[in-house]
Each structure stands twice: as structure tokens, then as C-alpha cells.
Amino acid sequence: MSLTESSLFECPYCMVSNDLEIDIQNDVGQQQIVDCQICCAPIELIIQDTGWGLEIIAKRDDE
């Protein structure tokens, strides 16, 4: 059984989809900074459990 879930989110800079492995026990409800896999810009991610699944909110660092 895998402890991570693979998800996609869109880079708010270049609008390209990025892969993200989410550790459901540790990442949900947390804020983290990751670099875009294409343009390397820093992205602020917030991972939330909506009750119907996980939601990834990706924001630019200047928002």
C-alpha cells in the first residue's frame, strides 16, 4: 500500500502541469514551496482535504 498520492497542479507562472507526490498523513493542511518542473519559478502550495478529495492551491510568491 502506497502512503503517497500522485496529483497534478498547474504552475501559476507558465501554466504547465506539474506532478506532485502528496504524503496524505503529513502534507495535508500544510503549506510548502516547490519549484516548477519546467520554468523553475518558486510556487507556494497549500494542500487541503475538501472531504471529496485533495485540493492543491498553487500561488505565485508575489500574490
Which pLDDT tens digit goes with each residue over 22-59? 998 888 899 999 999 999 999 999 999 988 988 999 99
How many domains does the chain fold into? 1
pLDDT band of residue 2 (cuts 50, 70, 90) is low
Residue-number span of the structural domain to which 51 is assigned: 4-60
Query: In sequence order, what DSSP letters do the residues of 4-62 get, joined into one string?
Result: EEEEEEE-TTT--EEEEEEEHHHHTT-EEEEE-TTT--EEEEEEEE-SSSEEEEEEETT
Q: Within 13 A of 50's CA, how many CA atoms are on the CB side?
A: 7
Say if pTM beats, i.e. exceeds, 0.75. Answer: yes
Would you state the pLDDT for residue 43? 97
How high is the pLDDT of residue 62?
Answer: 78
* Residue 17: per-residue pLDDT: 97
